[in-house]
Amino acid sequence: MTSETARNSVWETALTVVQETTPPFIPQGAHAMTVVIAYPPGDPGAPPHRHPGGPAFGYVIEGEMLFELEGEPPRVIKAGEAFWEPGGDIIHYSDGNNRDDAGLRFVVTMVCDPTQPMLVLVDDDELLARADRRVRVEPKE
């Protein structure tokens, strides 16, 4: 087998699906933006926010993220794992570094409606008004 033959067949097994979903909406005229975010050890990440312009899809490159969306319990996403959020009105409470001894890097591709900001912070009054939508996890004893 020549290297040309090997190279031409490797692509058939090179792909690994890490996430598959049907987003709730893709805005008309949307564009996509891919960013890499890096937080130092123990960093809490972005304050509560939403992505009104559309869904976001991410992958943790290194470290561990504490991830929390409105209506879902907080969870830890480790390097090599994917996540997504529907965007729109859903509050994204946490994307912080879950570790205080290692950095966190993740890549996110956001689908953006050009008429909407990519990210909007949620104020304290709205957090209080929507507190019943946040899933609290009781600590294990």
**Tens-level pLDDT at each residue, the chain (141 residues):** 555 655 678 878 887 888 888 877 787 888 999 999 999 999 999 999 999 988 999 999 999 999 999 999 999 999 999 999 999 999 999 999 999 999 999 999 999 888 888 899 999 999 999 999 999 876 666
Residues 62, 70: Cα–Cα separation, whole Å: 24
pLDDT at position 97 is 98
| C-beta separation of 67 from 74 below 8 A | yes
Residues 130, 119: Cα–Cα separation, whole Å: 18
pLDDT at position 6 is 56
Give residues with Cβ within 8 angstroms of 124, minimum separation 6: none
pTM: 0.84
